[in-house]
Chains A and B, each alone.
Chain A
Amino acid sequence: MPPATGRAFALLLLCAVCAPAVPAQQAQRDERLVRYESVLLAYAGGDRDEALQRLGEMSWQTLDAAWALLLSQVKNVATCPNCADPVSRLPLPAAAMLHLDRDRLDNPRQFDVEQRPRCPGRQAQRALQVADLLATRPETREFARRLFLGAAQRAQWDACMEEAVATGRAGLALFPDDADLLLAVGASYEKWARLVDVRTASLLGDAARHLERALAADPGRATTRVHLGRVLWRQGRFEDARATFEAAVTPGADAGALYLAHTFLGHLHHRAGRSEAAVECFHRALAIAPLGQAAALGLAHALRLRGDTTGAGQSADQVLAARDKPLDPLVNYLADNAAGAEDLLDELREGTRR
């Protein structure tokens, strides 16, 4: 199956429950729904490989029919008190993960990044439709929120920017003030603006708006301030960026965010010609992460431009000579805070086991 385009992906997400109504009696005895439910139960029971294979063998005609039948059962619950609620009866969180896992098999991550990435496709859309349904029930609402977040972050990580934004925004339609989703969407717009030549100003504007909302929802999160500071910097709002980075430097803040705030402040000061302040900021970053590659090279660069060739060489050499350096927080930052996507999805997947 060819992967859906980003725009098609977004449109489908806008219409999460868009299957035709089916009479309840038909739904209950339909062979296609029985097959689908059997696959869900196998996945939830731990037979994941088998379930994923069987799902892959089902035609989209069958899958869409089963989904329509299932939705009709959900609708009928309101008017039929004796009818079983499929949301309670079926392992629907497992269904969401099943579809997401099948999508990964259909669109595997490509490490040869010279190729266009394989972006989320139709199975991922179905997973989000299931999540949309789960969000209507208090007991599964948090699962749905985290699924939207994990799926959006996975798309970010894979540089599928339209899909990342569409997924995050579909989540925000259900959880409008969620700081995690707002950060994910804001960071996606930020990354998108880095990758393209066109619409950059518009994308940065969208990034800033979402990150400001994320900050309003959770003012204590330094990571959000770091992202917002970088966006403001790219918008040419240097003093706002500086103030935002400085506000991220608070006691108790996440060490990675603190390191980045100092490193970015150093880079900003350096670009503004404030050499001494730049060097001081890079040293502060290195006090947090002594083998921090970005800060050490930022320091080397600042020293070099001051004419301190020896100091620059020493700072760079220290980085080059270090073995088994921990991953610089800048790397995760540039992946737009999405490095934890697979961990989050793993956690959700494990939670679905019956």
Chain B
Amino acid sequence: MRLAPALLAAALVAGGASLAFAQAVPQFSSDVGVAYVDVFVSDHERPVPGLHGHDFELRDDGVPQRVELAEIDAMPVQVLLVFDSSNSLTGEKRAALRVAGDLLLAALRPVDEVGVIAFSDDIRWLARPTLDRRAVHEAIASLQPVGATAVYDALAAALAVADPRGRTLVILFTDEVDNSSLLDATDLRAAAVRSSALVHLVTVRRRGPFVPNTRVQPDSHPLQEIAELTGGRAWIADSVANLTAAFTRIAATFATRYVLRYEPAGEPTPGWHRLEVKLRKGKAKVQARRGYWVPDPAVR
């Protein structure tokens, strides 16, 4: 299993005066300005626990911010499982996804909602976000392989329906090259920077090129950069048998993440704002989204 560095999370959301995440809104405006950033810290792939707000250094467009840790127990997570159900979903992969789904469900807290989106050339809810774990389990078990692969459109759909008031974790599984989407990586990048959702990509290293000179290289994926942009990452298993290990690692990060809270100074200007998060001391790796987008009110 090739499991690169760390995982993690990041969602940046600005809210009103309240710290409660459920009341936060996903954009900055002139009168509100509380931001939350999901962070995962690891040292040689192992999560680093026990950190405090003052251990972190956060810069918003290069400006250092005063951060504190938010209480994550009060922050439900919406998890969207976006699973490839195209023709390439073999029995072995289906079995792996069922195991993976159960692993993820077991790692969540009772307050966390889970939804399942299946995609081939058809993108559909198998289960809307729910607290009912059995419904989610059955939805994953109902995956049937049929059709082509619209992975870009599926991710765009997930980002569009992600709860704009809270934190959404999108876990995208695909083992195929996109061949049915209207949207492409450029569109997805634009959607990802405007979303507070954190995206993890899980895929299987391809055994061979579909056609000569194929665009996809065995050790990379076009969506990898987009996942990293949101603070997530790509998990590339070297075999179907190792797929569950990737999901296990994602589940493990649920319990070991930090949410940083800060109040950006001044009125945020429309456009992209670069975020940098690191530890004041030590060499542990910090994973967080790379920035956030403030919409221009004049555009609407």
Contacts and interface: CB of A to CB of B under 8 A. Distances in A.
Given A114-B207, A297-B182, A196 B212 contact: yes
B300 A328 contact: no
Interface stretch (A98-106, A179-187, A311-319): A311-319
Contacts of A295: 182
A197 interface: yes
B176 A114 contact: yes
A113 B211 contact: no
Contacts of A293: 122-123, 150, 153
A319 B117 CA distance: 11
Contacts of A317: 160-161
Contacts, number: 135
B183 A297 contact: yes
A327 B121 contact: yes
A307 B124 contact: no
Contact of A301 (B27, B124, B160, B161): B160
A4 B22 CA distance: 61
Nearest to B184: A267
Contacts of A263: 182
B214 A195 contact: yes
Contacts of A267: 182-183
Interface string B143-165: 00101101001001101110010
Contacts of B208: 114-116
A196 B160 contact: no
B215 interface: yes
B164 A309 contact: yes
B94 to A, nearest CB: 13
B11 to A, nearest CB: 14
Contacts of A271: 186
Name the residue in A267, A271, A334 with the highest tally of chain B Cβ atoms < 10 Å from its Cβ.
A334
B160 A114 contact: no
A294 B157 contact: no
Contacts of B207: 114-115
Given A114-B176, A305-B190, A331-B148, A315 B297 contact: no
A323 interface: yes
B47 interface: no
Nearest to A267: B182
A339 to B, nearest CB: 11
Contact of A116 (B161, B181, B209, B296): B209
Name the residue in B145, B159, B182, B186 with the highest tally of chain A Cβ atoms < 10 Å from its Cβ.
B182
Contacts of B175: 114
Interface residues of B, number: 50
Contacts of A294: 153, 181-182
Contacts of A208: none
Contacts of A10: none
Nearest to A296: B157
A interface, over-half SS: helix
B219 interface: no
B87 A113 contact: yes
Contacts of B76: none
Given A313-B164, A331-B148, A111 B87 contact: yes
A304 interface: yes
Interface string B175-189: 110011111001100
A308 interface: yes
Contacts of A112: 87-88, 90
Contact of A307 (B88, B122, B153, B299): B299
Contacts of B157: 297, 300, 316, 319-320
Nearest to A192: B211
Contacts of B160: 297, 300-301, 304, 312-313, 315-317
Interface in A275-319: 275, 293-295, 297-298, 300-301, 304-310, 312-313, 315-317, 319
Interface in A303-354: 304-310, 312-313, 315-317, 319-323, 325, 327-328, 330-331, 334-335
A159 interface: yes
B194 interface: yes
Given A297-B153, A319-B123, A275 B213 contact: no
A100 B159 CA distance: 45
A323 B123 CA distance: 10
A161 interface: yes
B88 A114 contact: yes
Given A293-B153, A304-B160, A322-B124, A197 B194 contact: no
Interface of A: 111-117, 159, 161, 195-198, 263, 267, 271, 275, 293-295, 297-298, 300-301, 304-310, 312-313, 315-317, 319-323, 325, 327-328, 330-331, 334-335
| Smallest CB-CB A-B distances: 3 pairs | A316-B160, A307-B295, A294-B182
Interface of B: 26-27, 87-88, 90, 117, 121-125, 145, 147-148, 150, 153, 156-157, 159-161, 164, 175-176, 179-183, 186-187, 190-191, 194-195, 206-215, 295-297, 299-300
Given A320-B125, A334-B148, 17 more contacts: A114-B207, A116-B211, A196-B215, A295-B182, A297-B123, A297-B160, A298-B182, A298-B183, A300-B157, A301-B187, A305-B191, A306-B295, A310-B164, A313-B161, A319-B124, A334-B180, A335-B148
24 contacts: A114-B207, A115-B208, A116-B208, A116-B209, A195-B210, A195-B214, A196-B214, A197-B213, A271-B186, A293-B153, A294-B181, A294-B182, A297-B160, A301-B160, A301-B187, A301-B191, A307-B295, A312-B160, A313-B160, A316-B157, A319-B124, A319-B157, A327-B121, A331-B147
